[in-house]
Every structure is written in C-alpha cells, then in structure tokens.
Amino acid sequence: MAGKKQFDIDTALDAAMIQFWRAGYADTSVDDLSRATGLNRSSIYSSLGDKDTLFVRCLERYATRYGDKYDAALSCAADRPLAAARAFFDITLERIADPALPDGCLVAQTVMGTPVLSASVAARAREAIGLQHTRLRAALKAGRLHDEAAESFATHLAAVNQSLAVMSRAGTSTEQLRAIVDVTLDALARTLAASD
C-alpha cells in the first residue's frame, strides 16, 4: 500500500530455499539468508518468520515442487513402468545438472542432520522420504509388479535416488551418476520382463 515496494515473497522463499539447500541448516546464518534474499534482517522476521519456521517453509516448498515433478514423471507407470522409473531419475539428474541449482538434495541433507535438528524439522524430512517411497510403490504396483517386488523396488529406488545427492557432492560426473541409476533400471527391466 505505502512505502517503497512490496518485495516478492515467492522470490525470497526461493532464494532462502537455495541457501538452505546449499549450506544446510546449521551453516546458514540469518545474515546469510538476508544476503541471499536481498531482504533486511528485520524484514525476514516480520514476513518470513524466524529461522526455524523459515526452514520448514523452504522444506515444504522443496518437497512440494519436486514431489509434483516426481508424480508427473511416474504418471505413465501403468503403461510403461520402466520409462516411468527412468523419468523419475531424470528429474533428479536434471536438477543436479542445472547450474542454477545446488548439488545434493535439501531433504537428504536435512535427514543427515537429524540428530541435531529440532524434532519437528526432522519429522518433516522423514515424512518427505516416506512420501517418496509411497509414490514409488504405487507407481510400481500400477506397472505390473507384484506387491513384494513393488515394495522392495520402491525402497531401492528411493535409496538410489538419495545416493545421487551424496555422490553429486562427491564430485561424481554426470556419466557416473547415470551409470548408478542404469544398473537399477536394468534390474527393474529384468524383473518386469520376468513377471510377464
């Protein structure tokens, strides 16, 4: 209404999310967030909440944004389960390859910090991992995988997806990351073929 301009909250949240994503909760100070968002220290508290609240908002934002993409990638699972799994991993691989985004994964980093994070934050990160597993299991069941195999592969695919976050930060090349998922996709392909 008055005063200079209303800053764009979405843009600020994106910047904060990327900062947390890159450096993690412990290594991100409120001054870092101020620099990253371009917002004043007081503005952050007045419109984005304190550090803990803001972190949870960023975590939700991250989980929703990429959760939707994972859902979209898996949407063809009933018809072509292998292609769905490949598209699933492509979401992660493209995210890692994007120079505008950090390596790693905000959820993976948060989960790794479980012992020192607040219980609510740790629970929310665990929830995101659980959701990923549910998503994958549903997709694999939709593709003609029997319950047992769907359960195993859902867990395996979720884990391999998280491994990409670790390996990308270890300097592993795009080709090597692709090799990691290709072994998994081959295994899935053979299991799918065997159940025909």
Partner DNA sequence: CCCATCTTGAACCGATCGGTTCAAGATGAG
Partner DNA sequence: CTCATCTTGAACCGATCGGTTCAAGATGGG
**Cα distance between residue 61 and residue 120, in whole Å:** 16
Of 159, 164, 185, residue with least CA distance to 175: 164
Residues of span 19-48 touching DNA by CB under 7 A: 28-32, 39-43, 45-47
**3-state SS, residue 135:** helix
Contact 95, 106 (CB under 8 A): no
In whole angstroms, how far apart are CA 159 and each of 29, 66, 155? 30, 16, 6
**Cα distance between residue 25 and residue 122, in whole Å:** 11
What is the contact mask toward DNA in residues 49 to 68, using x (rule: CB under 7 A)? Answer: -xxx----------------
Least separation in angstroms between residue 26's CB and DNA is 8
Q: Which of 126, 131, 142, 144 binds a copy of itself (CB under 8 A)?
A: 126
Residue number with CB closer to a copy of itself (72 or 179): 179
Binding at 150: pick from DNA, a copy of itself, none (beta carbon under 5-8 Å per type): none
**Cα distance between residue 38 and residue 93, in whole Å:** 29
Which residues have C-beta within 8 Å of that of residue 46, sequence separation ≥ 6? none
Could you say whether residue 23 binds a copy of itself (CB under 8 A)? yes
Binding at 14: pick from a copy of itself, DNA, none (beta carbon under 5-8 Å per type): none
Chain residues binding a copy of itself by CB under 8 A are: 22-24, 26-27, 102-104, 108-109, 111-116, 125-126, 129-130, 151-153, 155-156, 158-160, 162-167, 169-172, 176, 179-180, 182-184, 186-187, 190
